A and B are shown apart, each in its own frame.
Chain A
Amino acid sequence: MSAIDAAVIGCSAGGLSALQQILAFLRPDLGIAIVIVSHTGPESANLLPELIGHSCRLPVSEAQEREPVAPGRVYFAPPNYHLLIEPDRTFRLSVDACVCFVRPAANVLFISAADAYRQRLAGLVLTGANADGARGLRAIADLGGICLVQAPETAVADAMPRAALLAVPEAKVVRLEAIAGELDTLCR
């Protein structure tokens, strides 16, 4: 039985190709929800679900307000909104101020998801040029969740994984090419 019900992922600079590499290798019956914050411009149309959808065998969509977080699906935060998960495991949006200069912020998603899923959650911080995700990953670790960080030497921008490792030294460091396999193992 799967050790987790959901995985939350945060990424920024270099994130698109890292996500493609990871999501393309996930099996369609993975059985957990995957929720992603990727920093994009505030007025950009949300092209990520479509871009990623081409290479991913799980259904990919933008998270809708009040939608239940369903297993076996991949969700992206909409541009210019924070994405949160409520205790009843439904999505919520907010236009609260930027966190770490970004909206959506991985920290906001991670902290709310840690509350909603406790130890049934994995948090993953990928490539990026700022410190978003570190505080959120700490919250996931504190509530018993599983913490993964992309090995900085495999990241296009290593600031985000390095900041995450400073905040959560006990997180498991995984090379980009091994992340899909790691998620797969957690779900068996």
Chain B
Amino acid sequence: MSATEADILDIEVSLFLEALFRRYGYDFRHYAQASIKRRVKALACVLGVPSVSELIARTLRDRSLLPEILAQLSVPVTEMFRDPAVFKLLRDQVLPVLASWPRLKIWQAGCASGEEVYSLAILLDEEGLLERSQIYATDINDSALKKAEAGIFPLSIFDDAERRYRLSGGRRPFSDYSTSAHGFFRMHQHLREHIAFAHHNLVCDGVFCEVQLVLCRNVLIYFDRELQEDVLRLFHDSLGRGGFLCLGTRESLRHGETGGDYAVVDKEHRIFRRAERAVP
């Protein structure tokens, strides 16, 4: 691709995002540019269109493409117990505090295909909190949500998941939480019944309830600064006093104007706690 072609592609990508927003209301215009450009190129490739200009034309006229477009543009990748040290900290330092609430509400924002939310449900189960917990797992990607709700994963990820589960302080056989057959394993019903999967768009949807823990890891890295601020404010407004916020291990609150209302629980693993009282 020549420099001219690269300039044209930049224009096309920005026009495509504009078209998607004006036609269907999905706003990716505040996503970090280099990543969203990669994904738009991948989308054109998956749909077999030769240029992003043509992708714009098809997007505007063919609504049936929308699920595929959203699936390609949103964050589809998670792992069970990714960053085991974070889950160990949640187990050792966060859940014992949350145990003092009579009922627990937890929001995982950007749950993708659900690997992480099941990891969280396993933690809650082992710490005796699952029965009084309600987890809300949200995403804008409906096809990922559907997968997450089914709770069926390929056996090929099982050994790695089990290894990370052990590193996170897990003590039971990991196979206790699922049934395997035909190259897949399905998470048990008693985990699934405490998770409500729902469509929620961080860009434009608001607070839907007060929660004691917000888990949103490796989602903010895709947003520009302005959108990061907005979403951090949304998390702040969703968290009850004394509630916890857990971000990705390379994300931070440093620019957030709400950042001052949090104490750092663990700096390296990005776990924060909202102040129990208003700062006068």
The number of A-B residue pairs with CB atoms under 8 Å apart is: 72
Q: Does B156 contact A (CB under 8 A)?
A: no
Given contacts A43-B84, A96-B35, contact A143 B6 (CB under 8 A): yes
In the assembled complex, the Cα of A111 lies from the Cα of B38 at a distance in Å of: 9
Which one of A11-19, A24-32, A79-87 contacts B? A79-87
- Flag whether B250 is at the interface (Cβ < 8 A): yes
Assuming the A-B contacts A64-B250, A65-B251, A85-B34, are A94 and B1 also in contact, with contact meaning beta carbons closer than 8 angstroms in the complex?
A: no
Instruction: From known contacts A65-B252, A66-B225, A81-B250, infer whether A94 and B35 are also in contact, taking CB-CB under 8 Å.
Output: yes
In the complex, which of the residues B82, B167, B250 contacts A93, with contact meaning CB atoms closer than 8 Å? Answer: B250
Which residues of the other chain, A, contact B37 by a CB distance below 8 angstroms? 115
Q: Is the Cβ of B1 less than 8 Å from the Cβ of A112?
A: no
Which partner residue on chain A sits nearest B75 by CB separation? Answer: A95
| Residues of chain A within 8 A of B251, CB atoms compared | 65
Contact between A94 and B250, CB atoms less than 8 A apart: no
Nearest-CB distance from A131 to chain B (Å)? 18
CA distance A95 to B34 in the complex (A): 13
Complex contacts, A106 vs chain B, CB 8 Å = none
Q: How far is the CA of A94 from the CA of B1 in the complex (A)?
A: 24
**CB contact between B250 and one of A78, A84, A142 (< 8 Å): that residue:** A78
Q: How far is the CB of B12 from chain A (nearest CB, A)?
A: 13
Q: Is the CB of B77 within 8 A of A95?
A: yes
Q: Contact between A144 and B35 (Cβ–Cβ < 8 Å)?
A: no
State which residues 239-260 of B face A: CB under 8 Å. Answer: 248, 250-252, 255
Q: In this complex, which of B83, B84, B221 has the most chain A Cβ atoms within 10 angstroms of its Cβ?
A: B221
Contact between chains at B225 and A112 (CB < 8 Å): no
Contact of A143 among B3, B35, B76, B167 (CB under 8 A): B3
Q: How many residues of A contact B (CB 8 A)?
A: 29
When chains A and B are docked, how far (Å) is the Cα of A120 from the Cα of B34?
18
Is the CB of A39 closer than 8 A to any CB of chain B? no
- Nearest A residue to B41 via CB reads A111
* Of the residues B35, B77, B84, B250, contact of A97 by C-beta under 8 Å: B77
Q: Interface residue count for B (Cβ, 8 Å)?
A: 30
B78 partner residues in chain A, CB cutoff 8 A: 95
Query: Does A94 contact B76, Cβ atoms closer than 8 Å?
Result: no
Taking a contact as CB atoms under 8 Å apart, the answer to whether A93 and B34 are in contact is no
Q: Is the CB of A92 within 8 A of B1?
A: no
Closest to A81 in B: B250
A115 to B33, CA, bound (A): 11
With both beta carbons as reference points, the residue of chain B lying nearest to A82 in the complex is identified as: B35
Whether a CB of chain A sits under 8 angstroms from the CB of B218 is yes
Q: Please, which residues of chain A bring their CB within 8 A of the CB of B77?
A: 95-97
Q: Chain B: which residue is nearest A98 at the CB level?
A: B77
A78 CB contacts on chain B under 8 angstroms: 250
The residue that B221 contacts in the complex, of A65, A87, A111, with Cβ under 8 A, is A65
Is there an interface contact between B221 and A92, defined as CB atoms closer than 8 Å?
Answer: yes
Q: Which of B2, B167, B218, B252 contacts A95 (CB 8 A)?
A: B218
Q: Is residue A108 contacting chain B, with contact meaning CB distance below 8 A?
A: yes
CB closest chain-B residue, reference A62: B250
The answer to whether B35 touches A92, judged by C-beta atoms less than 8 angstroms apart, is: yes
CA distance A10 to B2 in the complex (A): 23
> Does B222 sit within 8 A of A, measured CB to CB?
yes
Hey, which chain A residues are within 8 Å of B152, CB to CB? none
Instruction: Write the nearest CB–CB distance from B270 to chain A, whole angstroms.
Output: 11
| Complex Cα spacing A97 to B38, Å | 12
* Contact residues of A between 24 and 49, Cβ < 8 Å to B: 43
Question: Are A142 and B221 in contact, with the CB atoms below 8 A?
Answer: no
- B42 (CB) vs chain A CBs: closest residue: A96
Cβ B32 vs Cβ A97 within 8 A: no
B residues in contact with A114, CB < 8 Å: 6
Q: Mark each residue of chain A from 109 to 148: 1 if its CB lies under 8 Å from any CB of chain B, else 0.
A: 0011011101100000000000000000001001110000
Having A97-B76, A118-B6, one finds 13 other A-B pairs with CB under 8 Å, namely A81-B250, A84-B35, A86-B33, A92-B35, A94-B35, A94-B221, A94-B222, A95-B221, A95-B248, A96-B77, A112-B34, A112-B38, A114-B6
Offer 13 A-B interface pairs, CB within 8 angstroms, sorted by A. A43-B83, A43-B84, A78-B250, A81-B221, A84-B32, A94-B221, A95-B78, A95-B248, A108-B38, A112-B34, A115-B6, A142-B1, A143-B3
**Chain B residues in contact with chain A, CB under 8 A?**
1-3, 6, 10, 32-35, 37-39, 75-78, 82-84, 164, 167, 218, 221-222, 225, 248, 250-252, 255
